[in-house]
């Protein structure tokens, strides 16, 4: 998988933001999974917001791919929050028999961001110098991107 999925992955500070605005078929979903994981390791992102508010349906393959992506991201020390699932999609997913139980979800980007920020704050070992300037040592070698 060399090509990128055409879905943009934006970096915002320590997080990534993905907004899926197009209907996905299986190969696109797999490509997106790869792209997200690749960007996490490239940017050292601590969290990813995946906005699916434009998705009119999530079938078993897309649902599983999203859930797998979240598990894989966790091994890269990044949290994934799925944002904006339409109520009809949520109802259908449950009836389909798909459990997205482990995947964190939020109503909208704001809430999703709060979730990630809270988690990040809770995890920071240096709670007394949370400005972060001194915490960045790991990334020094990479410079700007």
Partner 1 sequence: MKQIEIREEADILKIRSEAKEMAQEIGFGLVDQTRIATAVSELARNVFTYAGEGEVRIESDCRPRKGIKITFIDRGPGIEDVELALTDGYSTTRSMGKGLPGAKRLMDRMEIHTHSGKGTKVTVEKWLPE
Nearest distance from residue 143's CB to partner 1, in Å? 40
Q: Which is nearer to partner 1, 23 or 129 (CB)?
A: 23
DSSP 17: E
DSSP 12: E
Beta-carbon-side half-sphere exposure of residue 101 (alpha carbons within 13 Å): 3
Number of CB atoms found within 10 A of residue 88's CB: 10
Residues 39-68 that bind partner 1 (CB under 8 A): 56-61, 64
Residues 23-42 that bind partner 1 (CB under 8 A): 23, 25-27
| Binding string, residues 101-140; x marks residues near partner 1 by CB under 8 A | ----------------------------------------
Lookup: tokens for 138: 């790991």
In angstroms, the first-to-last Cα distance of the chain is 23
Q: Contact positions toward partner 1, by CB under 8 A?
A: 23, 25-27, 56-61, 64, 86-89, 91-92, 95-98
């Amino acid at each position: 998988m060399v090509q990128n999925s055409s879905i943009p992955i934006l970096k915002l500070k320590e997080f990534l933001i993905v907004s899926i605005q197009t209907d996905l078929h299986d190969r696109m979903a797999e490509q997106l999974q790869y792209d997200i994981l690749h960007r996490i390791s490239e940017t050292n992102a601590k969290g990813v917001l995946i906005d699916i508010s434009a998705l009119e349906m999530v079938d078993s393959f897309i649902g599983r791919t999203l859930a797998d992506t979240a598990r894989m991201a966790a091994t890269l020390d990044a949290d994934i929050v799925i944002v904006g699932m339409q109520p009809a999609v949520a109802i259908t997913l449950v009836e389909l028999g798909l459990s997205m139980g482990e995947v964190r979800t939020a109503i909208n980007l704001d809430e999703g961001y709060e979730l990630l920020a809270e988690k990040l704050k809770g995890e920071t070992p240096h709670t007394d110098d949370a400005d972060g300037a001194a915490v960045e040592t790991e990334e020094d070698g990479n410079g700007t991107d």
